[in-house]
Chains A and B, each alone.
Chain A
Amino acid sequence: MADEVILLDFWPSMFGMRTRIALEEKNVKFDYREQDLWNKSPILLEMNPVHSKIPVLIHNGKPVCESLIQVEYIDEVWPGINPLLPSDPYQRAQAKFWGDYIDKKVYASARLTWGAKGEEQEAGKKELIEILKTLESELGDKIYFGGETFGYVDIALIGFYSWFGAYEKFGNFSIEAECPKLIAWGKRCVERESVAKSLPDSEKIIKFVPELKKHFGIE
């Protein structure tokens, strides 16, 4: 029996992008279902009752929630192709540490670059640059975070790369000026088919931000 894989997602979500990329890396055919987050569907509420958030991966009727948990799940279910996590326990732990770091740090400060004004916005910009510099330092001279092969940490971060243009425009600053190696990494990742298929155009995100602000009641 063929696997039935459904992804409940929202096109600008940097978290949803992770799961899309992981599925593409594994050549898994999936049914992408765009969700209206301002009007949540019954299936979303049923499949993620605890958080009501996307992405939700539904594999043969069973839901898996939380993007990095989904990435790991996908790696475990379809191990034969493009491993996403290293097999060495120490390297795995390092990958998970950085995935956790990205999860805990990037979104909150990034949001302030477009969602806040004045001092709060400046603080957000400063913090985001510090966080990205830390990540850039971790990347070092490697091609990808995992070394020679594209994997978990790259997947955890690359969705944010599609938002960099928006952060720069609305925050009025340059990420490339501060983190050129990270930008170079982003460009390399986007050359991968799985990433190119999964990331929206930067321009589209920039156009989306005013709509997002309106929804949150931010001017």
Chain B
Amino acid sequence: MASSATFTTLVLSSSFATQCNISNLHHQSSLFPPPKSPLFSFSKPLSLKLTPSSLLPKAPAFSPIPKSSQSNAAVVDVEPDNVEPEPEFEAVVESEPEPEPEPAQVVEASKEEPKREEIFAVVMIGGRQYIVFPGRYLYTQRLKGANVNDKIVLNKVLLVGTKTTTYIGKPVVTNAAVHAVVEEQGLNPKVVVFKYKKKKNYRRNIGHRQPNTRIRITGITGYQDYPAVTLNS
């Protein structure tokens, strides 16, 4: 995991070096010492091969930072965000680095989408579990009998998390519901299934498109009365 993080930070450093004219080489080299997770979380959209998680294909309302580094202005915005956590890091190394990207990402969200609720849920659909945010879309297995623009309520909610509390279901958070709207019933991209046995003259070439459904999550409700784990700080 360390090697992949350094690979992605090297990719980031090359894109920064070409884009920004501020290039204080000394300054840049101090930005990319052994892997820091704020950079790792920013570079996550670049490293698409690492996880096929359902987080990646969603269209986030706030654009991930590497894609916005097309203009120098955007790069200047990013640089102070990267510089600020740095002196704190030198004082206490390897302390909780995860809270640092959360304020930066919350600031990004508040600039563009002021009304987003800070909540997520883990829901089970079609035998698979997905981490779900209100306002984002999701591809799931084809839901039979659902037409476009149908409202759907998903009841198998395994975990709900807000900024300060977590509701962990055993196995399900009772009375919690995730509301969603069916957007589209389509097909996955084509996969070529090629079967071949050598020296036996056996070759089968089949194309396959798995049906899927795109749903957009509108809200998460009903979790308030469940026993929760609250954050102390």
A, B bound: no
Q: Which residues does B use to contact A, with CB under 8 Å?
A: none
